[in-house]
Structure 1
Amino acid sequence: MTDTSRVAVVTGAGRGLGAAIATDLHAGGHRVALLDLDGEAATAAAKALDPAGESAVGVAVDVRDPAALRDAFDQVRSSLGVPEILVNNAGRTVPRPVWDIDLDEWDDVLATNLRSVLIATRELAPAMRDRGWGRVVNMASLAGQQGGLVAGAHYAASKAGILVLTKIFAKELAAAGVTVNAVAPAAVRTPVMDAMDPGQLERSLATIPVGRLGRADEVAALVGFLCTEAAGYITGATVDINGGVFMR
């Protein structure tokens, strides 16, 4: 896949899906900023893409902190240029029964997963609108479509909120050439699954029509496509990638 070289920002890019998405965008010719709470992981992932640091940089940031996020974007502008692609991927997953979630944990999960999408998009999308081109992709989840599933209610609620926020921003920005879409993965092999009970994982695998778990690079390729010129007529959409677990 080739496309005009742009500056892309991926949050939660130190590992897992975020790192895979950053890798795909970089392979597509983009300059990529990898943001993560774990600055060392973000830097290591960026160096793996470009040891010289000219087309990939890692930035340590807590997406729950609006001021820190704005400072991180300033670093990106200084090192790579003005971002025209934003992938809101940062997230926190806490499997816990709804009855056992304390309010501080609820607020923290929503601040990480949902509020950060609002802040990051409001910070970067105006410049995209002014330039007449931009791509925003928000990472949702099957949990936000069907309920908590394995993840906690706060995680599911945050991902459901992302679906609505995606539509709102899509309507606001469509006329300016900026698309905003959500991607809803499920049954994808990520580091989060390492903590799952093997028996539970096996039972989950049996419910997947394609008969296997998804791969991070498959999700990344979908996100990468939504960031291309060819995807300019897709906006406000939630694109499922779940092996047939949820069909509609």
Structure 2
Amino acid sequence: MRLKGKTVVITGGNKGIGKAIAYRFASEGARIAFLARRPIVEILADMHSRGFDAIAIQTRITSYVSVEKAIKSIIEQWGTIDILVNNAASFSREPMLEMTLEAWHQVLDINLNAAFYCSKAILPYLVKNKNGVILNISSVTAKCGDNEAAPIYTTSKGALTTLTKSLARQLAPYNIRVNAVAPHAIVTQMGSEWTEDKRKQVVSSIPLGRMGEPEEVASSALFLVSDEASFITGETINVNGGYLMD
């Protein structure tokens, strides 16, 4: 088991990519601490039935005070934190001419500020241990923009990718690695809104000729947080079937 004995904190772990990551990490021996705004009773019950060690802390991740309180609660219960997965995200399709200030701030708060808050709250414990990993879930749109997504979505993901690189450089002396995954065309709730014509259009742009599964993103995430990637930091790995090759 690649993550045996590790404590993982994850945001947005109740569905899609985040849920797949939580289950994959748990299957590799990790203890999972969900930071969730609402109760996730069914997920916890299912994980416990599988013999996984998991808890959920009710947290408003757009509030640093709430995040800091949640992190302290996890430390009190499990004594340590080893890995943070910043997965929570908000998506918007509003074009620039129609975008409201409220929508701009909401997406920015969840996609970027929450990742900063969680990282800042956890860092004292990682620095103390002189070991740890932060993984950010970005997007292919961070690298190339997008006509379908609102400007704030691509902007927030681009900033998250840059934050990944900056933290990787600054935290390397403490043996803390920081990486990101940039998915595209993954079968999630976001893609379920597409029409069949839209789905065919997306698939036609992917060299591998199909959509990706959340579990495939989880596999890349597992590699990046494991000791197998011990000499990798500051990287953003594409998981997009060849849509973007850089």
* One-letter amino acid of the structure 2 residue matched with residue 82 of structure 1: T
Which residue of structure 2 lines up, in the alignment, with residue 225 of structure 1? 223
- Kept in 1: contact 2:3–2:25 (CA 8 A): no
1:168 equivalenced with 2:166 (yes/no): yes
Give runs of aligned pairs for residues 11-160 of structure 1, distance below 5 A. 11-37=11-37, 39-40=38-39, 42-51=40-49, 55-160=53-158
Kept in 2: contact 1:15–1:45 (CA 8 A): no
Superposed CA offset, 1:167-208 (max 9, x none): 111011112111000110001111111122222122111111
Give how far 1:52 is off: 9.2
Q: TM-score, normalised by structure 1?
A: 0.94
Distance change >3 Å, CA 198–CA 54, structure 1 → 2: closer
CA gap 1:53/1:121 in 2 versus in 1, 3 angstroms:
farther
- Show the counterpart of 1:238: 236
Aligned-partner residue type, residue 92 of structure 1: S
State the Cα distance separating 1:49 from its structure 2 match: 1.4
Task: Give the 5 Å matches for 1:137-216.
Answer: 137-216=135-214
1:100-124 Cα shifts (integer Å, max 9, x gaps): 1111110110011001111111111
**Residue 62 of structure 1: CA displacement?**
2.0
Return the offset for 1:63. 1.2
Cα deviation, residue 70, structure 1:
1.5
- Corresponding pairs, count: 246
Match of 1:10 in 2: 10
Contact 2:26 2:52 in 1 (8 A): no
SS of 1:100's equivalent in the other structure is coil
User: Structure 1 unaligned runs (5+)?
Assistant: none
Which consecutive unaligned segments of at least 5 residues does structure 2 have? none
C-alpha distance in 2, partners of 1:48/1:149? 38
Measure the CA separation in 1 of the matches of 2:229 and 2:164: 16
**Residues 138-194 of structure 1: per-residue CA shift (max 9 Å, x gap):** 000011111134221111000000011001110111121110001100011111111
Identity %: 29
Q: Give the 3-state SS of the residue equivalent to 1:99 in structure 2.
A: coil
Q: CA deviation at 1:66?
A: 1.4
What secondary structure, in the 3-state scheme, does the structure 1 residue paired with 2:97 have?
A: helix
Q: Tell me which amino acid in the other structure corresponds to 2:32.
A: V
Secondary structure, aligned partner of 2:190: helix
Comparing 219-228 with 73-82, greater Cα deviation is found at: 73-82
> Aligned equivalents of 2:51 and 2:104: distance in 1?
37
- Asked whether the 8 Å contact 1:45–1:58 carries over to 2, the reply is no
Query: Judging changes above 3 Å, is the alpha-carbon distance between structure 1 residues 244 and 52 closer, same or farther for their aligned structure 2 residues?
Result: closer
The whole-number CA distance in structure 1 between the counterparts of 2:178 and 2:206 is 28
Moved more, 75-84 or 8-17: 75-84
Residues 205 and 211 in structure 1, CA contact (< 8 A), matched pair in contact too: yes
CA RMSD of aligned residues (A): 1.6
